[in-house]
Amino acid sequence: MNKTIYLQDLGLSDYKDTWDYQERLFKEIVDLKMLKRNEPETVTPNYFLFVEHPHVYTLGKSGDMSNLLLSEKQLEAKGATFYKINRGGDITYHGPGQIVGYPILDLENFFTDIHKYLRFLEEVIILTLAEYGLHGVRSEGETGVWLDVGTPFARKICAMGVRASRWVTMHGFALNVNADLGYFDNIIPCGIKGKAVTSLHVELGRTIDEAEVKAKIIRHFETLFEATLKAAETAGKFL
């Protein structure tokens, strides 16, 4: 099993360009797995992309369009784009001040359990938040990481949605770090009514060093997945 993960920070990158890039890496792994049937010694790679997107709303394959509260003209006025995509989950927002992570892994290099994979992604964020004195938790039946679940003040700080085929993953998580939460007012986040969204900088009352947060995420990801994340030499560029 190959537990080395190729890490690349794409910086600020257009959503569609990044989605296409994910699809290319995803297909590369799936194609190698097909080859591996006849050549068992074939090693499949793993990738982890960090990215920050310009303002964009994305709707998962089972999502409800009515959860987008803007018309096409209103989207344009806000400088935002919209895509219906092939991950699980409903609608969410990506934008500046948000750390988005896309692990593109062959889970046969780690474990073949999608439920466990999602719980591990949540745990990476929970452990990262704990380093800032925040008690992140899961909300039953609602993938992602929350604060104050079970109270009138429940609020989501990290959204998650993945796609998996032949045990290969894509898409991932979006952690609000210094995000403009006003953009969430234009959707019903994740299709869940009556629950708020928050950001790390709001909870702590200060601007957060995003590079520091990424370093913590990497460390916890390596520990939980018993993996080594190897930095790409071509950070900020598509391979």
- Residue 236 forms part of a structural domain: no
Residue 150 counted as an annotated binding residue: no
pLDDT at 237: 62
- Residue 51 forms part of a structural domain: yes
Sign of CA dihedral 102, 232, 55, 149: positive
Instruction: Check residues 42 and 18 and name the one with the higher pLDDT.
Output: 18
pLDDT of residue 115 exceeding 90, the answer is yes
pLDDT category at 234 given cuts 50, 70, 90 is low
DSSP letter for each residue of the chain:
---EEEEEEEEE--HHHHHHHHHHHHHHHHHHHHHHTT-TTPPPP-EEEEEEPSSEEEE-TT--GGGB---HHHHHHTT-EEEE-SSSSSEEEE-TTEEEEEEE-BGGGT-S-HHHHHHHHHHHHHHHHHTTT---EEETTEEEEEESTTSTT-EEEEEEEEEEETTEEEEEEEEESS--GGGGGGB-GGG-TT-EE--HHHHHTS---HHHHHHHHHHHHHHHHT-EEEE-SSTTS--
- For residue 48, the domain's CATH number is 3.30.930.10
Number of domains in the chain: 1
Global pTM?
0.92
- On average, the pLDDT of the chain sits at 91
pLDDT of residue 103 exceeding 60, the answer is yes
pLDDT of residue 120 exceeding 90, the answer is yes
Instruction: Check residues 88 and 146 and name the one with the higher pLDDT.
Output: 146
pLDDT of residue 192 exceeding 70, the answer is no
Amino acid code (one letter) for 180 = D
- Residue 19 forms part of a structural domain: yes
Residue 90 counted as an annotated binding residue: yes
List Cβ neighbours of 217 (8 Å cut-off, separation of 6 or more).
99, 101, 124, 125, 128, 175
Residue 205 counted as an annotated binding residue: no
Q: Could you read off the pLDDT of 48-85 as tens digits, one per residue?
A: 999 999 999 998 887 888 888 888 889 888 899 999 98
Report, as residue numbers or ranges, the catalytic residues.
190
Residue 220 counted as an annotated binding residue: no
Once rounded to an integer, what is the mean pLDDT over residues 120-149?
95
Once rounded to an integer, what is the mean pLDDT over residues 179-185?
91
Domain extent for 217: 4-231
- Residue 238 forms part of a structural domain: no
- Residue 108 forms part of a structural domain: yes
- Residue 239 forms part of a structural domain: no
User: What is the per-residue burial (b if ≥16 Cβ within 10 Å, else e) of 109-121?
Assistant: bbeeeeeebbebb
Q: Could you read off the pLDDT of 201-221 as tens digits, one per residue?
A: 999 999 999 999 999 999 999
Residue 174 counted as an annotated binding residue: yes
- Residue 237 forms part of a structural domain: no
Nearest CA-CA partner of 45 in 6, 103, 102 = 6
Once rounded to an integer, what is the mean pLDDT over residues 121-149?
95
- Residue 25 forms part of a structural domain: yes
